[in-house]
Amino acid sequence: MDRSIGYALLAMFFAGVTAVIAKLGMRNVSGDVALVVRTSLIFLLVWGNAFAFRLVGKLQLLTGRDLLFLGLSGLTTFLSWLFYYRAIKIGEVSVVNAIDKASIVVTLVLCFLFLKEPFTWRVAAATLLITGGLILLVWK
């Protein structure tokens, strides 16, 4: 198995677990407060990882363009998490998480447009199935 697939499967598992335990942890606080706690811990863990694996010195390799795109990625991550936590606070995690994961459709379209990744019949079929599932899920 390609190592990227293994990492992706681990990411999928932990993202799924994250949604449930986050909902359990915000019983007495808003989604915004829960996000502060979660993000603060992530900040410490990411820096700990950077020091543990001696990655801090590699920060000097970043170009202005790299910083721009990583900064934009940080901004979109913040917005995603902000609205996600607000949604799971007031909604059903099973529905909110399924909608959130349908972001793959946005990712696929952007990958074709900006990264020039191949558009195959398998990707097209999967995108249509995901979109159909999302419509089925939210249609009242």
Residue 82 is predicted with a pLDDT of 96
97 within a domain of the structure (yes/no): no
106 within a domain of the structure (yes/no): yes
Residues 57, 14 share a domain:
yes
Range of the domain at 140: 102-140
Residues 86, 116 share a domain:
no
Ordered DSSP codes for the chain: --HHHHHHHHHHHHHHHHHHHHHHHTSSS-HHHHHHHHHHHHHHHHHHHHHHTT-GGGGGG--HHHHHHHHHHHHHHHHHHHHHHHHHHHS-HHHHHHHHHTHHHHHHHHHHHHS-----HHHHHHHHHHHHHHHHHH--
Residue 138 is predicted with a pLDDT of 84
- Is the model's pLDDT at 1 over the cut of 90? no
44 within a domain of the structure (yes/no): yes
Residues 85, 40 share a domain:
yes
pLDDT digits (tens, 9 = 90+) for 19-64: 999 999 999 999 999 999 999 999 999 999 999 999 999 999 999 9
Q: How does residue 132 score in pLDDT terms, banded at 50, 70 and 90?
A: very high
Q: What is the total count of domains within the chain? A: 2
96 within a domain of the structure (yes/no): no
